[in-house]
Amino acid sequence: MGKPTGFIDYERKNNPSLTPAERIRNFNEFHPMMVKEERAKQGARCMNCGVPFCQSAMTLNGMVSGCPLHNLIPEWNDEIFRGNWEHALARLLKTSCFPEFTGRVCPALCEAACTCGLYGDPVTVRENELAVIENGFAMGLVKPRPPKLRSGKKVAVVGSGPAGLACADMLNRRGHSVTVFEKEDRPGGLLMYGIPNMKLEKSVVFRRITLMEEEGVLFRTGVDVGGEYEAGKLLKEFDAVVLCCGAGNPRDLTLPGREAEGVYFAVDFLKSTTKALLAGGLKEGNHISAKGKNVVIVGGGDTGNDCVGTCIRHGCKSVCQIEMMPKAPDSRAVNNPWPQWPRVCKTDYGQQEAIALFGADPRIYETTLKRLIPDKEGKLSAVETISVRQETDPATGRRKMKEIPGSEKQLPAELLLIAAGFLGPRPYIAEAFGVKTNERSNVATAQGRYATNVEKVFTAGDMHRGQSLVVWAMAEGRAAAKEVDEFLMGYSNMQ
């Protein structure tokens, strides 16, 4: 422990942030790094606890608190404080394949469990992590390290999101020959097309893909395994197959007027913007545009917030988020103590920008849509909302939402974005391989395992656990890689 009184001597300080007025002018990331001297103070705040809850990934009251990758957080925080950045990087990479991703987009389960958060502000674990990996790239410490020996075994990874990339990275390090199949035109999955540039610039994803290619991983894009590319062919050509295809089946709305023009799933909307930016910029006709439109977003989560920020950068006329649940408290409730995940209201970057631009929080709580209203040409012109409240069913004891009669309202809307979550993976992939699915339509395995009912076919990530976080996908990808290695070699020395 570098500085025993660090958590007393220094206050939490985050990376600076450009103002909403500045950052909405483009799609760039907007949190410049603080200088190393200041970052050292943030590392010094780590208490080096006897029981480091930050790296535990404990399930408490139905939610996880602590890092699913079990990152060695106190160790590299201490190295940051001491200025040993190369040592900090070595400890970080022991447990995490891609800190540059989680350091940008993870909700920081580690910080929720930080002991400093019991009576004050937790350590800036996520930003410390990002500083370590970005310094590693800047100093040339992160470089290709292809395996010296190959096992002679071939593995196909289907899907190049965080789970697929982590699985491929680990198996390649072990010496297996890995080919990653991706149905989109670029690798990265959710990282490429599900997360907007202002949270994760695509140059960061390309940088990692290039590094993996230099280490020997092969990427084949535009290949729809289970569709145009037969699953049987993959099974014949490879010694093992890992399905990491994500939860790509979005939850739809079944409402009158659903067929109106101007209704899109959130991921399709975000993808169209990213593709246009990668092609040279937003131009009329090359993306789903919110410019000059009243936008309604169904869903109050992270994807909905990303849609808010993207619509504002398009130049929308107005934007609101419809959220069925009531507003969470601004601070921890008595029944939600540390180190549980804090169930509190978070106002994210998109909502902050909407407040700055339009003067009000875009979220409308305890509300749902009743119907969509098209104009004479079939284009969406408005939506009808109705207020709801939670009630307990006396027969079952379950909570359910009940509409409040007479609370109907109309909102102008030329664009409706559905960000209501996902119902699991698209079924055709599981059907093509003959793997069993569970009641949630995810690919089924034994508890804590990744092998499916089909010989040499494994699964990981959202396709296995359901819609979740990037950090969980990475953790599952690493764990699945170890199980695949044991299957191929009879043992595994992976950590």
Confidence of residue 12 (pLDDT cuts 50, 70, 90): very high
pLDDT of residue 1: 63
Report whether 472 contacts 68 (CB < 8 A). yes
Of 3.40.50.300, 3.50.50.60, 1.10.3720.10, 3.20.170.30, the CATH number of 154-248+423-489 is: 3.50.50.60
Query: What pLDDT score does 344 carry?
Result: 95
**Is the model's pLDDT at 187 over the cut of 80?**
yes
Instruction: Tell me: pLDDT of 495 over 80.
Output: no
Distance set, CA 87 to CA 72, 90, 280, 369 (Å): 12, 5, 39, 53
The CATH code that applies to domain 6-138 is 1.10.1060.10
Domains 6-138 and 263-418 share a fold: no
Partners of 385 in beta bridges: 369, 409
pLDDT of residue 104: 98
Give yes or no for a contact between 266 and 321, defined as CB atoms under 8 angstroms apart.
Answer: no
pLDDT one-digit tens code per residue, 440-465: 999 999 999 999 999 999 999 999 99
Q: What is the mean pLDDT of residues 171-188?
A: 98
Which residues neighbour 311 within 8 Å (Cβ) at sequence distance 6 or greater? 290, 295, 297, 319, 415, 417
- Classified by CATH at the fold level, domain 263-418 comes out as FAD/NAD(P)-binding domain (3.50.50)
Tokens of 339: 């180190």
Q: How many CA atoms lie within 13 A of 318 on its CB side?
A: 14
Q: Give the model's confidence band at 132: pLDDT under 50 very low, under 70 low, under 90 confident, else very high.
A: very high
What pLDDT was estimated at residue 191? 98
Kindly report the average pLDDT of the chain as a whole number: 96
Percent with pLDDT over 70 in the chain: 100
Q: Domain map of the chain by residue range?
A: 6-138, 154-248+423-489, 263-418
What band does 20 get if pLDDT is binned at 50, 70 and 90? very high
Give CA angle at 454 (450, 457), nearest 5°: 50
Whether cis (ω within 30° of 0) applies to the bond prior to 339 is yes
221 contacts 303 by C-beta, under 8 angstroms: no
Burial class from Cβ neighbours inside 10 Å (0-12, 13-18, 19+) for residue 91 reads: buried
Could you tell me the sign of the dihedral formed by the alpha carbons of 81, 84, 89, 92, in that order?
A: negative
What mean pLDDT is predicted for residues 221-248? 96
Nearby residues of 281 by Cβ (< 8 Å), 6 or more positions away:
none
The vertex-258 CA angle with 287 and 299, nearest 5°, equals 70
Lowest-pLDDT range of 220-224, 385-389, 424-428: 424-428
pLDDT at 3: 85
Q: What is the pLDDT of residue 394?
A: 83
Please count the residues of the chain: 495
pLDDT tens profile 377-408: 999 999 999 999 989 888 888 888 999 999 99
pLDDT for position 62: 87
For the chain, percent of residues with pLDDT exceeding 90: 93
